[in-house]
Amino acid sequence: MMMQRTLDKAICALLTCAWAGIASAQMEDEDLALVYDDKPFITIATGSRIPVTRAPAVATVITAEDIQTIGAVDLDQVLETVPGLHVARSTQTNFPVYVIRGVHSDTNPQVLMLINGIPMTTVFAGNRGNVWGGMPLENVARIEVIRGPGSALYGADAFSGVINIITKTAADIGHTEVGARVGSFNTADAWTLYGGTVGTVEVASYLRAGKSDGDKQTISADAQTGWDNIYGTNASRAPGPINLGYKAFDGSLDLSYKKLRFRAAYKRRDDVGAAAGVAQALDPTGKNFSDRSTTDFTYQDPNFGKDWDVTLQASYLHYREFSDLTLYPAGAFGGTFPDGMIGNPYKWERHSRLTASAFYTGFANQRLLIGTGVMKEDLYKIQETKNFTFVGLAPAPLGSVVDVSSTGPFLVPHDRIVRYLYAQDEWNFAKDWTFTAGVRHDQYSDFGNTTNPRVALVWDAAYNLTTKLLYGTAFRAPSFNELYNINNPVQIGNPSLTPEKMKTLEAAVSWQPVPKLQLGMNVFHYRMADIIRLVPNSAGFTAENTGEQIGNGMEFEAKWDATKKLHLSGNYAYQRSIDKASNQDSGNAPHHKVYVRSDWHMLPTWTLNTQVNWVADRKRAPGDTRPDIPNYTTVDLNLLTRMIRNQWNFAFTVRNLFNADAREPSPYSTPFVSVPNDFPLPGRTFQVQASYQL
């Protein structure tokens, strides 16, 4: 009832804003639009450029200027500023979990990440790869985020949200830039950017190398601590430091000639630490490796024929992920493993895609998008060495590390073919009214078909006021890990799995009462069904479509140019999601999240940015009897300046200024909670950065 009253009040607030905006319209819309026209645009909501306020989605755009102003050097630091999105952490190499509107899972396959519109999903776990190792931002022009379903355009995994990262073109860079950064934890980065022309070809290139020892926050107790209590041993390395070191290399090339564009990129992460341990037992020597190669070739002709804008694209992704791990330390399981329990899984994937799409504008007041495509997702090679096997649920030693790739691997190679067709119609059926309807049908070779529609009604109620009513469905395809895992009783695959499903209803309003103030608010309700979870049985734990979750909430955001030198912005998000099986809170996601940002242009070339992030009211997962996850507040400062004929840029950044004890929830497990005191986030950190434009 309290939730219903909250939503009722929120809807009333939306309607009040709408009528207030209409009543204030005393000038001609066309004249006022010139004053109120400075609005960001987005491309992923419809497949074409459209103002964010009018997009048929609840969306956020972060520009390169925003990234520079807040001093962000990694994608996660930017995404934490988005209303309704919280960055948690996984047991897998501290992998970022993008929790959107309360949808939380350890591998995070419910969020689709695109780079220049192309999915980065790996098929083994259905996410961006378990050895992610962060993403730098020097070559990022803008980041577009949709909160809510996007499967009607993008298919699988556009479930709770879509993140599109758009890299810089030659025009965005326009020069040669070199830069370097040093910071806490022996962190260092260096990069170079080039944007220009070679003959008639526009060229953009980027190279970056970096490394870090990682934060060394202490884990006071781990999974081995629990087993020590059962066996009466003392093998655990806890208390001990979390292992978050890494080495990184990134490179990209963007070539554009008339209607043709070729992109290639390479992302390598080496010596990535095992965080708190893949089995949640500290592993100070564990190392992980991944590399990702991507290429795409695009032909786009906006004047292909009368009223036709046609795009053809071919893309390829190759991904490797290698892990050399000590799952449990020497002396584990009552001394059964004198050298520790060692596992070394290696995986190779390749993804090929062909797509074609076209806009047709020959109908009056309508814009029709049609598209089709085919892709092959191929987990084509598996290799595994280890010194253990399982007898029932109990691990048993093999005596030494042996190659089980052909005798008993965790998974054998599999592939799938996906064919899809989609259509979308944007119809301006009356002045200031736009109705968008779309549907996409996906055909999977391994589990069958799925069809996902969406509809949106957008009303420009006044020159400064836009309202939206949105409905959409989404699906999340089961990963190969969930479908085909074998020889591991704690996670057994199930080839009969069907996709997870979601239905979402949203209402939103954007109001600009005066040119210097922008307000936005939305309310949402969603229902997830057929959630894939591990269910205990006589053989172990098998993946099943068994979960259901219902979520409700609201998000509010504001931007205010208080003076010519002071700009304020922020957002507040509230959500509550219920696990239907237990009728309890789904857990691990914050009910309340507040973000506040201040940009003070102290002097013509100096800017001081301050950020405050409050994360609060996180319940435990059903069955977890630990106290609620503690709230935390972090404060970040970034001082930047442009000097010497605007060629030099300097920045000094402090994150978590007051050294708050911030933690992300560790998973609930039995017969004990493996990391009872959760995963610690970095304390106070410093970084200094300089770049020079030639």
d(CA 321, CA 153): 29
d(CA 38, CA 13): 25
d(CA 484, CA 345): 15
pLDDT score, position 32: 46
d(CA 364, CA 429): 9
pLDDT score, position 48: 84
pLDDT band for 328, please (50, 70, 90 cuts): very high
What digits encode the pLDDT tens for the residues 118-163? 999 999 999 999 999 999 999 999 999 999 999 999 999 899 999 9
Percent above pLDDT 90 for the chain: 88
Answer whether the bond into residue 239 is a cis peptide, omega within 30°: yes
pLDDT band for 668, please (50, 70, 90 cuts): very high
pLDDT score, position 5: 52
Q: Write the DSSP symbol of residue 9.
A: H
- Give me the half-sphere count of Cα atoms (radius 13 Å) on the Cβ side of residue 46: 26
Tokens of 351: 């993804």
21 pLDDT more than 70? no
End-to-end CA distance of the chain: 62
pLDDT score, position 646: 73
Q: What is the pTM of this model?
A: 0.94
Q: Which residues pair with 358 in a beta bridge?
A: 310, 370
Question: Is the backbone of residue 185 left (phi > 0), alpha (psi -120 to 50) or beta?
Answer: left
171 pLDDT more than 90? yes
For the chain, the average pLDDT equals 93
Domains along the chain with CATH numbers: 2-693 (2.40.170.20)
d(CA 18, CA 460): 10
339 pLDDT more than 90? yes
CA 360 from chain center: how many Å? 32
Q: Are 344 and 401 in contact (CB under 8 A)?
A: yes
2 pLDDT more than 60? no
6 pLDDT more than 70? no
457 pLDDT more than 50? yes
pLDDT score, position 24: 41
Q: Which residues pair with 51 in a beta bridge?
A: 41
481 contact partners, CB below 8 Å, separation of at least 6: 107, 124, 125, 126, 411, 491, 493
pLDDT score, position 644: 67
pLDDT band for 92, please (50, 70, 90 cuts): confident
Averaged pLDDT, 165-176: 96
Averaged pLDDT, 633-658: 92
What digits encode the pLDDT tens for the residues 537-555? 888 899 999 999 999 999 9
What digits encode the pLDDT tens for the residues 493-503? 999 999 999 99
Q: Are 114 and 163 in contact (CB under 8 A)?
A: yes
pLDDT score, position 344: 97
37 pLDDT more than 60? no
Q: Which residues pair with 373 in a beta bridge?
A: 355, 420
pLDDT score, position 645: 72
What digits encode the pLDDT tens for the residues 462-507? 999 999 999 999 999 999 999 999 999 989 999 999 999 999 999 9
- Calculate the alpha carbon distances from 393 to 213, 345, 406, 491, 644 in Å: 36, 19, 22, 10, 66
Answer whether the bond into residue 40 is a cis peptide, omega within 30°: no
